[in-house]
Every structure is written in structure tokens, then in C-alpha cells.
């Protein structure tokens, strides 16, 4: 009863597939082929199939996936790209790295995702793209977002970094916009043993463009058609991810069962629980609740030995590095309230029933005091 409940424990997952991982890594070491080999190609094929797209390109990170996706859609200096202020920094920095300007639009109070009704007023003659972020593993209202994009001739790059395997009305995250981006950062639902990322698309032209750009703009060794970068997913990561891809559906289903249990247990408490609209399949990268008493709740859980964390404490429009964009506190009231009240609870497939019981008991106890 006294042991703590970790917010996330990656060791348990590794133990469950240790033998396969060792074989996969051993195979790469025996081949001594570390960059752009058969594992990367096989993983690209498998992820494209899984996502319901024609192509996938392995990259060094999810951040690079966003950068290269926006580049492939023609985003550059002077352009504006609309996105959410309530996301991880990499969503907006990909836009800035291209010399374009992030333009924020507020989120929906129940889903924490970009609110399509907030987008239209942000569109100008410089708008080029929208980046919806499927935050915590829940897809955005893609019909609304794709509708706005179509109406105004904008590209859509999905930030599906946290949503591998999530679904929206029968379509997988990443397959709905022009390009979808995944992160394989170790803590993600499909996580590597280091950095990694991938983008998916059904356009052969975009696939070829990104393939060229990720490898120094070179198809023939030492001949460079354009000024590219080095952003390749290495073979060790790809080999491990091929093993994990076989299990991600099962792991996501376990996350769904834990979330359902939490939802049921918390439904009568003065706590805003995550909302999953009909027809959406949540990937539950994170399970986050909202409470005006967030600070006290967080301290209480810490004393009880229960891991909890805040994603994210400061919205992007108020980040020091984005002061020059000219935003102020109060510009995005929903995002600003959410950052004050949000708290993520332990959520990973291997979280035991007894540990879930402890999380539930502690939360109930907090509100009964």
C-alpha cells in the first residue's frame, strides 16, 4: 500500500518484449548497416499501411517531421501558419524555423484541441497552412478544420506526435490532412530508444520531396539537387520500432481500458474529466483532468506517492521567445484557463489494476477532505 505509483514506467514495457528487441538490435549490429537500410524501409511501409496512407518517410524526430512537412507544403518566410497555443513547443518552432509566423487560435474547452470556429478570423492573405495538433491522443475536429482549409485554400499538416493509432470517424490520425507527423520520442505511445519521427502522406510528390530534403538533397551520392538537411531515422531505432509496432494496437487498447476506469471513477467528482466525442478513438497518450484546485491536488498526490505532471504550464503565445509576435495574457482565455487547471495522471499500458485503484482512491480522498 505504501509503494508509489509512477507517472510512467517504460521498463515494464521493455521487459515484456526484451527478447524480440534484443534480436532486432542484434540483427542491425551484425549487419553494421546503420543509416537508410532495410529496417527503415520496412518500418516506413508498415507505418504507411497502419495509418492508411500511401507513403511514410522516416526522420530524425517529430520536430523535423513538422518542419519538413510544412516545407514540402511550400511554407516559407512571410507566410502565416495557424495552430494552437496549447501544445508542445515543437509545433510552433517548426513554423518559425521556416521563417514563417505562427498565428494562434484558441482551443475547445472540452477537447483541448484547436477550435475550428476560432480559425476563420485568423485567416489573412498570408495564411498558408493549418497545423491541428491531436493533443494527448485525441484527434481534432477534422471535418471542421479541413472544411476551413478547403474554403480558404490552405494546406493541413497534422501534428499527430501524441496520437499514433488514434482514429477520427474511421480514419487514422495523420491520414486526413496533406501530411501527418509522428514522433517516436521514447515516452510516446510508439516510442523509440532515442529520438525518431516519421511523416505520412498519400502524395508521391511530397514523399519524394521530403525523402530528398532529409538526406542533404542528394539522390546520387555527393550530387546535391537542393540544400537539404540530415534528418534520417537510424536503423537501430527502426528495427526496435518494427517490433513495437506489432503491439501498439494492444497497448492503446489497454490505455483505453484504464481511461474508461478513471472516467467512471471520477465522473461524480468536481473534476473535469477528458471528453471523447462520438466516433473518435482516443490513443490516450496522456490522461489529463482539470481542477481549479490543481496545485493542491498535485501536492496531495505527491505526498501520496502518485506521479502527476502538468502538460503544459505556459501556452505558446506567452512564451518569452514569442514576445515579438505581440500576444498578451487574455488573448486565448480557454488555453489560459486550461494551463492553470490541468493535471495528467498515471497512464501507460502496464499500469496495474492495484495502481489504478490507488490513483482513484487518492483523488477521491482529496475531494472528500
Q: Is the dihedral of CA 191, 192, 194, 195 positive or negative?
A: negative
- Residue 174, interface with ligand PLP (CB under 6 A)? no
Distance CA 162, CA 142 (A): 16
H or E, element range at 290: strand 287-290
Residue 39 or 183 with smaller CB distance to ligand PLP: 183
Residue 258 or 286 with smaller CB distance to ligand PLP: 286
Record the cell numbers describing residue 157, joined without a space: 499538416
Q: DSSP class of residue 190?
A: S
- Residue 91, interface with ligand PLP (CB under 6 A)? yes
- Residue 288, interface with ligand PLP (CB under 6 A)? no
Give the contact letters, 95-134, x = binds to ligand PLP (CB under 6 A), - = no: --------------------------------------x-
- Residue 234, interface with ligand PLP (CB under 6 A)? no
Q: DSSP class of residue 223?
A: -
- Residue 162, interface with ligand PLP (CB under 6 A)? yes
> Is the separation of the CB atoms in 274 and 282 below 8 Å?
yes
Backbone angles phi, psi at 104, to 5 degrees: -90, 150
Residue 245 or 297 with smaller CB distance to ligand PLP: 245
Record the cell numbers describing residue 202, joined without a space: 498519400
| Segment interacting with ligand PLP (CB under 6 A) among 82-90, 109-117, 252-260, 343-351 | 82-90
Give the contact letters, 183-202, x = binds to ligand PLP (CB under 6 A), - = no: x-x---------x-x-----
Distance CA 160, CA 139 (A): 8
- Residue 68, interface with ligand PLP (CB under 6 A)? no
| Segment interacting with ligand PLP (CB under 6 A) among 24-32, 158-166, 210-218, 334-342 | 158-166
Smallest separation (angstroms) from ligand PLP to the CB of 172: 17
Residue 83 or 356 with smaller CB distance to ligand PLP: 83
Distance CA 49, CA 34 (A): 24
Residue from 13, 61, 175, 252 touching ligand PLP (CB under 6 A): that is 61
Smallest separation (angstroms) from ligand PLP to the CB of 197: 5
- Residue 145, interface with ligand PLP (CB under 6 A)? no
Residue 149 or 286 with smaller CB distance to ligand PLP: 286
Backbone angles phi, psi at 204, to 5 degrees: -65, -35
Record the cell numbers describing residue 287, joined without a space: 490522461
Class of residue 95 by CB neighbours under 10 A (exposed 0-12, middle 13-18, buried 19+): buried
Residue 39 or 162 with smaller CB distance to ligand PLP: 162
- Residue 13, interface with ligand PLP (CB under 6 A)? no
Which residues lie closer than 8 Å to 221 by C-beta, 6 or more apart?
A: none
Smallest separation (angstroms) from ligand PLP to the CB of 184: 7
Tell me the DSSP string of 158-175: EE-TT-TT-EETTEETTS
- Residue 55, interface with ligand PLP (CB under 6 A)? no
Judged by DSSP in three states, 156 sits in strand
Record the cell numbers describing residue 146, joined without a space: 479541413
Distance of CA 106 to the CA centre of its chain: 18
Residue from 13, 39, 53, 87 touching ligand PLP (CB under 6 A): that is 87
Give the residue from 302, 303, 313 showing the smallest Cα distance to 345: 302
- Residue 161, interface with ligand PLP (CB under 6 A)? yes
| Segment interacting with ligand PLP (CB under 6 A) among 49-57, 83-91, 167-175, 250-258 | 83-91
> Is the separation of the CB atoms in 262 and 277 below 8 Å?
no
- Residue 237, interface with ligand PLP (CB under 6 A)? no
- Residue 315, interface with ligand PLP (CB under 6 A)? no
- Residue 58, interface with ligand PLP (CB under 6 A)? no
List residues binding ligand PLP (CB under 6 A): 61-63, 87-88, 90-91, 133, 159, 161-162, 183, 185, 195, 197
Amino acid at each position: 500500500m505504501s509503494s508509489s505509483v509512477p507517472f510512467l514506467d517504460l521498463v515494464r514495457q521493455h521487459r515484456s518484449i526484451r527478447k524480440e528487441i534484443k534480436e532486432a538490435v542484434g540483427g542491425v549490429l551484425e549487419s553494421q548497416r546503420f543509416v537508410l537500410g532495410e529496417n527503415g524501409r520496412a518500418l516506413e511501409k508498415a507505418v504507411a499501411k497502419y495509418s492508411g496512407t500511401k507513403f511514410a518517410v522516416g526522420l530524425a524526430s517529430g520536430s523535423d517531421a513538422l518542419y519538413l512537412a510544412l516545407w514540402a507544403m511550400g511554407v516559407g518566410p512571410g507566410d502565416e501558419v495557424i495552430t494552437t497555443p496549447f501544445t508542445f513547443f515543437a509545433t510552433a518552432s517548426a513554423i518559425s524555423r521556416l521563417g514563417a509566423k505562427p498565428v494562434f487560435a484558441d482551443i475547445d474547452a472540452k477537447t483541448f484541441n484547436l477550435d475550428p470556429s476560432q480559425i476563420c478570423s485568423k485567416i489573412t492573405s498570408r495564411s498558408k497552412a493549418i497545423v491541428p495538433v491531436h493533443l494527448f491522443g485525441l484527434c481534432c475536429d477534422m471535418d471542421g478544420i479541413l472544411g476551413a482549409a478547403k474554403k480558404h485554400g490552405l494546406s493541413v499538416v497534422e501534428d499527430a506526435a501524441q496520437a499514433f493509432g488514434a482514429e477520427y470517424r474511421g480514419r487514422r490520425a495523420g491520414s486526413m490532412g496533406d501530411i501527418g507527423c509522428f514522433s517516436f520520442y521514447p515516452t510516446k505511445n510508439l516510442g523509440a530508444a532515442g529520438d525518431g519521427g516519421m511523416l505520412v502522406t498519400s502524395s508521391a510528390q511530397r514523399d519524394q520531396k521530403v525523402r530528398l530534403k532529409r538526406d542533404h538533397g542528394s539522390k546520387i551520392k555527393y550530387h546535391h539537387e537542393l540544400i537539404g538537411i540530415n534528418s534520417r531515422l537510424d536503423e537501430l531505432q527502426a528495427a526496435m520500432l518494427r517490433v513495437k509496432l506489432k503491439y501498439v494496437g494492444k497497448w492503446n487498447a489497454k490505455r483505453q481500458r484504464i481511461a474508461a476506469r478513471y472516467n467512471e471513477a471520477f465522473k461524480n467528482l468536481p473534476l473535469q474529466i477528458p471528453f471523447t466525442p462520438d466516433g473518435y478513438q482516443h490513443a490516450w497518450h496522456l490522461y489529463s483532468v482539470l481542477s481549479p484546485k490543481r496545485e493542491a491536488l498535485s501536492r496531495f498526490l505527491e505526498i501520496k506517492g502518485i506521479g502527476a505532471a502538468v502538460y503544459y504550464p505556459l501556452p505558446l503565445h506567452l512564451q518569452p521567445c514569442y514576445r515579438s509576435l505581440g500576444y498578451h495574457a487574455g488573448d486565448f482565455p480557454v488555453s489560459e484557463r486550461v494551463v492553470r487547471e490541468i493535471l495528467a495522471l498515471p497512464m501507460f499500458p502496464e499500469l496495474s489494476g492495484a495502481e489504478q485503484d490507488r490513483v482513484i482512491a487518492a483523488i477521491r480522498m482529496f475531494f472528500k477532505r
